[in-house]
Chains A and B, each alone.
Chain A
Amino acid sequence: DAEITQSPRHKITETGRQVTLACHQTWNHNNMFWYRQDLGHGLRLIHYSYGVQDTNKGEVSDGYSVSRSNTEDLPLTLESAASSQTSVYFCASSATGVDEQYFGPGTRLTVT
């Protein structure tokens, strides 16, 4: 069965370190998304991609970057982790612009 996976599921890192969160989907979807989820803020879009070599900023992109070198993967990099980036991160993918998104299980990141 097709799926979307994230790794690691839990990560503790120190302020200032570079961190990369992995997202891999086997749906062969063109669209991929990264969200963060915090209490009181719901889901907020960080970055998204509509295909290989395409990346776009979402509403909370400062301090984050993504790259899309193939259809299956969209890694999220925190260039210099800050305590404000402690959150749960979700990756998602969709086939087209009006289709539902399929979500990964999430990565809980703690920045100390």
Chain B
Amino acid sequence: QQQVKQSPQSLIVQKGGISIINCAYENTAFDYFPWYQQFPGKGPALLIAIRPDVSEKKEGRFTISFNKSAKQFSLHIMDSQPGDSATYFCAASPSGTYKYIFGTGTRLKVLA
């Protein structure tokens, strides 16, 4: 119940295309859903995050779609660029804890 399932494991997209990464969870106590971007040799950096009271959040080319009833959330990267090539982790955190449950990661490669 504490798991966050992430798919796909890897993704190859042409420059200018849309990259979509999906995550699903079971624990209804989760109330914070961030996405992290990690480049090789670097620490993860917060990309965008959402709370369950909204269904969508957009920041530049990055959008989170959140479906509370289906317990799913996804990251959409519009106009994908080679510089977006990185590993993306979704995560979920229950209210009042220090726990951040990470998905297994998606390695994105954007072809020039």
| A and B: interacting chains | no
